[in-house]
């Protein structure tokens, strides 16, 4: 008689954690500066060797600086120099041990890949652009600007007084857009209303006065005399007739 046994399921394998993308450490810039200083000191040392071998004329800079430092004596302003050097040293130590800042945000809801934890990342600027684009599509919004902080998303919108935008509607739209990416972030909307100046309606145009019709005369020659018409009128006492000229 044979019996079959099923192996008991063991504990679930532990997922490997993905290191989030981080910025360049600050010590890189400090060490680069020190590297440039050491290169300059090496160039000065090569020059002093050339002067010592009589290949070029001049005086040795490193030897002159060493003699100047050896002749120095303690003075009161050395305290300020000593304190400044201590502060600079502490800043350099902090720069070397300070954790690097994260440049991307982990997205929740991404599946595992080859035994690794969710490894989907996005930048804060991309989330801010998405939120601003959604806000601009809302009714009444003329301008939108978004800032993604550590725990919340702040969107500033601008609308006009004729068609003001609803902050609640914009907040709901942004929340629905970024929830799959940042479910733990809260959304805050700040509204700015711009007043549009209303132009005054000009008065209706008044009627133009009626111009007299132009007098159109007959065509005459330049050398001919003006045409005259005579109208007989009875004389007052003599019975003679007079003529009245009417010039056209």
Q: What is the 3-state secondary structure (H, E, C) of the chain?
A: CCCCCCCCCCCCCCCECCCCCECCCCHHHHHHHHHHHHHHHHHHHHHHHHHHCCCCCCCCHHHHHHHHHHCCCCCCCHHHHHHHHHHHHHHHHHHHHCCCCECCEECCCCCCECCECCCCEECHHHHHHHHHHHHHCCCCEEEEEEEECCCEEEEEEEEECCCCCCHHHHHHHHHHHHCCCCCCCEEEEEEEEECCCCCCCCCCCCCCCCCCCCCCCCCCCCCCCCCCCCCCEECCCCCCEECCCCCC
Instruction: Give me the CATH number covering residue 150.
Output: 3.30.300.30
Let me know whether 126 and 186 are in one domain. yes
Give me the pLDDT at residue 240, please: 44
Q: Which of 194, 212, 240 is the last residue of a domain?
A: 194
Let me know whether 91 and 31 are in one domain. yes
Let me know whether 129 and 169 are in one domain. yes
Q: Which of 194, 210, 227 is the last residue of a domain?
A: 194
Give me the pLDDT at residue 242, please: 44
- Domains: count for the chain: 2
Give me the pLDDT at residue 128, please: 94
Residue 7 lies in a domain: no
Residue 35 lies in a domain: yes
Residue 143 lies in a domain: yes
Report the chain (248 residues): mean pLDDT per 10 consecutive residues. Answer: 53 66 88 94 95 91 92 89 95 91 72 60 90 92 91 92 87 91 89 78 58 55 44 45 44
Residue 184 lies in a domain: yes
Residue 203 lies in a domain: no
Range of the domain at 149: 121-194
Give me the pLDDT at residue 65, please: 93
Residue among 19, 23, 17, 16 nearest 123 (CA) = 23
Give me the pLDDT at residue 163, please: 81
Residue 238 lies in a domain: no
Let me know whether 142 and 88 are in one domain. no
Q: Which of 161, 179, 194 is the last residue of a domain?
A: 194
Let me know whether 89 and 146 are in one domain. no
pTM over 0.75: no
Residue 149 lies in a domain: yes
CA distances from 80 to 73, 88, 91, 149 (A): 15, 12, 17, 40
Residue 55 lies in a domain: yes
């Amino acid at each position: 008689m044979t019996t079959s046994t099923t192996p008991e399921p063991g504990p679930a394998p532990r997922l490997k954690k993905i290191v989030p993308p981080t910025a360049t450490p600050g010590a890189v810039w400090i060490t680069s500066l020190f590297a440039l200083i050491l290169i300059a000191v090496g160039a000065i040392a090569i020059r002093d060797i050339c002067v010592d071998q009589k290949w070029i004329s001049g005086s040795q800079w490193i030897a002159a600086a060493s003699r100047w430092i050896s002749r120095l004596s303690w003075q009161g302003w050395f305290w300020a120099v000593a304190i400044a050097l201590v502060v600079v040293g502490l800043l350099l130590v902090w720069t070397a041990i300070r954790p690097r800042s994260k440049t991307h945000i982990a997205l929740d809801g991404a599946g595992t890949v080859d035994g690794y934890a969710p490894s989907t990342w996005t930048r804060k600027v991309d989330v801010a652009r998405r939120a601003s684009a959604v806000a601009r599509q809302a009714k009444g919004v003329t301008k939108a600007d978004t800032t993604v902080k550590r725990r919340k998303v702040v969107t500033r919108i601008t609308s006009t007084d004729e068609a003001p935008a609803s902050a609640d509607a914009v907040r709901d739209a942004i929340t629905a857009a970024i929830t799959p990416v940042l479910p733990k972030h809260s959304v805050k909307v700040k509204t700015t209303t711009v007043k549009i100046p209303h132009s005054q309606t000009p008065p209706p145009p008044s009627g133009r006065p009626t111009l007299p019709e132009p007098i159109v005369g007959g065509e005459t020659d330049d050398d001919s005399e003006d045409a005259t018409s005579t109208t007989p009128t009875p004389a007052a006492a003599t019975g003679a007739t007079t003529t009245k000229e009417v010039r056209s």
